[in-house]
């Protein structure tokens, strides 16, 4: 926890510090929150490219999920969390498989991870409702925790949705899924339940301030107002939406209506990079490019989305450098060429538009340094990469054999 904030030369200085970092020429920002990601299947990174979303899912993503084993997922989690920490991400909302492997990886690497499993009972190769029920009950404290989640409404029967909703209500925790990513997905929900998505969420008592929806590219204006009224949070994924040609989410309108919007990278299979600096910049630029309004989505607004708003959705007292807030911090090199000249009144613009993960000097999670001078302090990075490559090769073979 952050104990004191103040001038280091005054009596404000914390007297019990174990280590003192010379902060001259360093910009300290709150840790970045990746509000929607998938730690894997990493095997598809750089492999399934330039395809329409439906074909990409059918030919690559779903076969990879069918072939995925717990040890593959463990390798994916370790690689993704290493990449995220080195990119200044201190907390991720991670929709993936085998959540117990994710909890272990989060503890090993020192990242906060809220894992929302791909729960489904229409398909048999995702996490079953029983698995998710057990994992939510088991993992509620520590750096890694499990919240109810599902990939799409149409992957779940009524009893599965009822159980997930009840878990969120009973534990007072969030509930995470994709929605309004493409028009096709909305139509799938209508086909299965005869209703639009928000009506389905309402039917299952999910339309409330615990619901976090990834994407939201295609809601109607009425649906946006209903989301604002219910206090729903949105995880906006600009790079993924552009790469998969899903469309452009109406984020300025969401913010105008008071919807809590955070930012996410989405997974390595649709974004290739887990980098919130990229997301902040893209979130700002994409809206300007389509509206011709350079005043939209300012650096301060997108920075708030990546810090304050992400933490609000995840129910964490973090995202600001203030006493009593979690000590999750990223230290950025102010002497890097791309960060100069640096104007004190415009530091946030420099962080959003100029900075990249290579500028990070240290990452602190829960008061502990986990990345120092560009390297993780305790894990063998080359071993993590080697294991991920082996997993990728094995899974890729399986995918090609089936296609
Ligand atoms: Zn996603």
**Contact at 8 Å (CB) between 323 and 3?**
yes
Residue 145 lies inside a defined structural domain of this protein: yes
Beta strand 233-236 with 368-372 is unpaired
How much distance in Å is there from the Cα of 265 to the middle of ligand 1? 9
Confidence at 7, pLDDT banded by 50, 70, 90: confident
Answer yes or no: is 143 within a domain: yes
Ligand 1 mean position, distance from CA 25 (Å) = 37
Residue 263 lies in a domain: yes
Give pLDDT tens digits for 45-102.
888 888 888 888 888 888 888 889 999 999 999 999 999 999 999 999 999 999 999 9
User: Is residue 16 included in any domain, yes or no?
Assistant: no
The boundaries of the domain holding residue 216 are 33-320
Average pLDDT over residues 210-228: 98
User: Which contiguous run of DSSP H or E holds residue 330?
Assistant: strand 329-333
Tokens 């104990």 sit on residue: 3
Q: What distance, in Å, lies between the first and last C-alpha atoms of the chain? A: 51
Helices then strands, counting H and E runs in the chain, come out as 17, 14
Burial 122-132, CB ≥16 within 10 A → b, else e: eeeebbebebb
Q: Minimum mean pLDDT among 27-31, 54-58, 198-202: which range?
A: 54-58
Q: What is the pLDDT of residue 9?
A: 73
Q: How far is the CA of 61 from the centre of ligand 1 (A)?
A: 11
Say what the pTM is.
Answer: 0.96
Which residues have C-beta under 5 Å from ligand 1, the single-atom ion?
266
pLDDT over 60 at 402, yes or no: no
State how many domains the chain has: 1
CATH classification of the domain holding 79: 3.20.20.140
56 in a structural domain? yes
269: in domain: yes
Distance 38 CA to ligand 1 centre (A): 6
The CA 138 to ligand 1 mean position distance, Å, reads 24
Residues with Cβ within 8 Å of residue 254, at least 6 apart in sequence: 216, 224, 227, 228, 234, 261
Strand 112-115 with 144-146, pairing:
parallel
Q: pLDDT digit string (tens) for 108-138? A: 999 999 999 999 999 888 999 999 999 999 9
Q: What is the pLDDT of residue 19?
A: 87
CA of 114 to the centre of ligand 1 (A): 14
> Is 152 a member of any domain?
yes
395 pLDDT more than 90:
no
pLDDT digits 0-9 by tens, 315-345: 999 999 999 999 999 999 999 999 999 999 9
Q: How far is the CA of 36 from the centre of ligand 1 (A)?
A: 6
Q: Is residue 210 situated within a structural domain?
A: yes
* 334 CA → ligand 1 middle, Å: 33
Average of per-residue pLDDT across 162-191:
95
**CA 267 / ligand 1 centre spacing (Å):** 6
Copy the structure tokens of residue 343: 């104007």
**What is the pLDDT, as a whole number, of residue 58?**
86
Tens-digit pLDDT profile for residues 246-273: 999 999 999 999 999 999 999 998 899 9
Q: What is the pLDDT of residue 62?
A: 86
């Amino acid at each position: 926890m952050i104990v004191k904030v103040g001038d280091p030369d005054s009596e404000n200085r914390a007297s019990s510090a174990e280590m003192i970092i010379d902060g001259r020429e360093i910009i300290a920002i709150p840790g970045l929150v990746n509000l929607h990601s998938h730690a894997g299947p990493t095997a598809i990174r750089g492999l399934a490219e330039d395809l329409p979303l439906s074909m990409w899912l059918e030919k690559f993503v779903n076969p990879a999920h069918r072939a995925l084993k717990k040890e593959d997922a463990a390798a994916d989690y370790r690689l993704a969390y290493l990449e995220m920490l080195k990119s200044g991400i201190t907390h991720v909302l991670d929709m993936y498989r085998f959540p117990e492997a994710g909890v272990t990886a989060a503890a090993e690497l020192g990242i906060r991870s809220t894992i929302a499993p791909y729960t489904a009972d229409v398909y048999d190769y995702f996490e079953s409702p029983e698995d998710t029920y057990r994992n939510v009950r088991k993992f509620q404290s520590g750096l890694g925790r499990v919240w109810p989640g599902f990939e799409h409404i149409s992957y779940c029967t009524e009893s599965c949705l009822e159980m997930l909703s009840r878990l969120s209500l009973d534990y007072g925790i969030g509930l995470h899924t994709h929605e309004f990513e493409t028009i096709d997905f909305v139509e799938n929900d209508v086909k299965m339940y005869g209703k639009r998505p928000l009506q389905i969420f309402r039917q299952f008592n999910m339309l409330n301030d615990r619901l976090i929806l990834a994407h939201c590219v295609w809601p109607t204006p009425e649906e946006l107002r209903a989301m604002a009224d219910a206090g729903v949070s949105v995880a906006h994924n600009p790079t993924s939406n552009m790469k998969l040609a899903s469309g452009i989410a109406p984020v300025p309108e969401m913010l105008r209506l008071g919807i809590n919007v955070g930012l996410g990278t989405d997974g390595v299979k649709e974004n290739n990079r887990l980098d919130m600096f990229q997301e902040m910049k893209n979130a700002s630029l994409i809206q300007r490019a389509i509206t011709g309004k350079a005043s939209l989505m300012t650096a301060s607004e997108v920075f708030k989305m990546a810090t304050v708003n992400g933490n609000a959705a995840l129910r964490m007292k973090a995202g600001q450098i203030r006493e009593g807030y979690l000590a999750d911090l990223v230290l950025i090199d102010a002497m890097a060429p791309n960060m100069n000249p640096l104007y004190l009144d415009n530091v946030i613009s420099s962080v959003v538009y100029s900075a990249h993960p290579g500028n990070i000097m240290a990452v602190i999670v829960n008061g502990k340094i986990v990345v120092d001078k560009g390297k993780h302090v305790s894990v063998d990075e080359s071993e993590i990469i080697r294991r991920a490559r082996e997993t990728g090769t094995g899974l890729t073979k399986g995918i090609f054999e089936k296609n």
